[in-house]
Structure 1
Amino acid sequence: MPNILAIGFDPYTIPGFDPAPVAAGIEQGSKAFAELGMTQDLVLIDFAELDGRAQAKIVERLKQKQYDAVLVGGGIRKGTGLLELFQTVVNLVHWHQPDAAIAFNDSPADSPDWALKALEQRRRR
């Protein structure tokens, strides 16, 4: 049973943003992980904590157990002005989970598909 860690923003903390579609996508993705026999842990970053608190929260979770794949959510990757955070998150995953596949999603609902693709790529290396 693969262990997956998904890292993204808590949609309820993003100013001027309707959280409902993203929250529904997270729920849908979580159900799909379970249906595929994968365990999923979530680290949802508070948008107001883009300083060292977000990084500390991520590192704490990365140190808790070994993950087969770590998925970095699209909000972190695509958000305007968030390139430094994205780079930091990828490096934290690389440093603290060097054997984990790294995956990126297009939406929370398609996270399981991208995690599976990353796991397959890791198996072929």
Structure 2
Amino acid sequence: MSEPRVLVLGLDPFRVPGPWDPQPVADKIEAGMAQFEAAGVGARSCLVGLDGSDDIETVLTAALTERPWEVVVVGGGIRRAEGQLFEDVINLVRRHAPGAAIAFNETPDDTYRAAARRLNGA
């Protein structure tokens, strides 16, 4: 596997308050990440919880500053979350990964396709 070029930001389905079954979403996230491996593109995911167990800004900042990212994919859970989470995440990406393209997936299992639209040399 090559060095990570893509960072995928999303919600950990097991730490999103319910009642709901998070397993189907977790399975789709896993399938989406497997597509990066199959394509030989290094990727890493950073999933945060909405259950109060994370300092979301700290967790995302650590991931964004871990290395230079070519693409940052912002998942649908973040985009649809209540409040200003989406706005905060976009500003964190701008601040801490200014050289990265930003992509948005439609579903968790099309994350590779979203990144590939913005990935140089994919």
Structure 1 residues 62-73: aligned runs within 5 Å: 62-73=64-75
Question: Which residue of structure 2 lines up, in the alignment, with residue 59 of structure 1?
Answer: 61
Quick check: 1:49 aligned with 2:45?
no
Structure 1 distance, partners of 2:13, 2:107, is 12
Structure 1 distance, partners of 2:72, 2:23, is 24
Cα deviations by residue, 1:25-54 (Å, 9 ceiling, x for unpaired): 111011101111111111110112387x10
Question: Which residue of structure 1 lines up, in the alignment, with residue 5 of structure 2?
Answer: 3
Cα deviations by residue, 1:80-114 (Å, 9 ceiling, x for unpaired): x24x1100101101111111010111111000001
Question: Which residue of structure 2 lines up, in the alignment, with residue 28 of structure 1?
Answer: 31
Structure 1 residues 1-125: aligned runs within 5 Å: 3-15=5-17, 16-49=19-52, 53-79=55-81, 81-82=82-83, 84-119=84-119
Which stretches in structure 1 are left out of the alignment for 5+ residues?
A: none
State whether residues 71 and 102 of structure 1, in contact with CA within 8 Å, keep that contact through their aligned partners in structure 2: yes
Structure 1 distance, partners of 2:24, 2:107, is 10
Structure 2 distance, partners of 1:12, 1:24, is 11
Which stretches in structure 2 are left out of the alignment for 5+ residues?
A: none
What SS does the aligned partner of 2:117 have? helix
Q: Work out the number of aligned pairs and report it.
A: 118
Aligned letter for 2:102?
Answer: I
Aligned letter for 1:31?
Answer: A
State whether residues 11 and 17 of structure 1, in contact with CA within 8 Å, keep that contact through their aligned partners in structure 2: no
How much does 1:116 deviate?
0.7
Cα RMSD of the aligned pairs, angstroms, is: 1.8
Following TM superposition, where does structure 1 have runs of at least 4 consecutive aligned residues deviating by more than 4 angstroms?
none
Structure 1 distance, partners of 2:118, 2:16, is 28
